[in-house]
Amino acid sequence: MKLYGAPNPAPNPRRVRIFLAEKGIDLPETLVNMMQREHKADDFVAKNSLGQIPVLELDDGEIITETISICRYLEGIHPDKPLFGTTPLEVAKIDMAIRRVEFQLMNPVGNFWRHAHPYTAKLLTQFKDFGESNREAVARAMLWLDRELEGHDFIHGNSYTMADIAALTTVDFADWIGLPMPEDAKRLRDWHARVTARPSAAA
């Protein structure tokens, strides 16, 4: 089994590393040099037609892409310390929590990164006004998440799950591109301190 990834600040490979650290799974990462566009080279695109990382290649050649799907597979073969839930209700609610983090928060963070950040200006056609509008959308999403955290230590209730990994990596990436947590998002800030204190966050 071979895991293709990239160093921080790329948020998706970090998600897999945090997941592996939380589960105690030893799976070394083969680094793909994104600065040299190795993820868009023919041999890599033959593995993932979207030219994205991470990618998990199984010993029989099967390929799994998409961060959450890779982690879901690893959870399937290493069910201990579950991070995706075990009952149908837990599985569905953690899936729901992950999706809400992605659609509400990760999407506007990604839109700002692609359309308003100076780094991507060199690589993409930007729609700057639209990009900038996501600054407010991100703040709004963070304040929504702050309210959702009322009475909970973690994104999905009171246990740490894949939804916390999705949210932590998104919040940290957002901060790195200039979109910090709002000052008054007290619960979100407390949650961030809580999940950052876990050894896995160093991944």
How far apart, in Å, are the Cα atoms of 80 and each of 5, 23, 70?
24, 7, 16
Number of residues that bind a copy of itself (CB under 8 A): 36
Distance between terminal CA atoms of the chain? 20
**Span of 35-43, 62-70, 174-182, 192-200 interacting with a copy of itself by CB under 8 A:** 62-70
- Length of the chain, in residues: 203
As a dihedral over the C-alpha atoms of residue 82, residue 86, residue 88, residue 93, rounded to 10 degrees, the angle is -30
Strands 2-5 and 55-57 come out as antiparallel
When asked if residue 64 is in the footprint of a copy of itself (CB under 8 A), the reply is yes
Is residue 140 within the footprint of a copy of itself (CB under 8 A)? no
x/- contact string, 1-40, with a copy of itself (CB under 8 A)? ----------------------------------------
**149 to 188: interface string for a copy of itself, x by CB under 8 A:** ----------------------------------------
Q: Which is nearer to a copy of itself, 96 or 196 (CB)?
A: 96
Residues 93-132 vs a copy of itself: string with x where CB under 8 A? Answer: x-xx--xx---x--x-------x---------x-x-xx--
Q: Are 149 and 109 in contact (CB under 8 A)?
A: no
> Which of these segments, 5-13, 30-38, 61-69, 158-166, binds a copy of itself (CB under 8 A)?
61-69
- The rounded distance, in Å, linking the Cα atoms of 14 and 10 is 7
CA-based nearest residue to 75, from 25, 38, 125, 29? 25
In the complex with a copy of itself, which residue's Cβ is closer, 34 or 143? 143
Least distance CB 199 / a copy of itself (angstroms): 26
Residue 147 to residue 127: CA distance in whole angstroms: 31
CA distances from 82 to 20, 27, 39, 87, 145 (A): 12, 17, 31, 11, 23
**Residues making contact with a copy of itself (CB under 8 A):** 49-50, 58, 62, 64-66, 68-70, 72-73, 75-77, 87-89, 91-93, 95-96, 99-100, 104, 107, 115, 125, 127, 129-130, 133, 144, 147-148
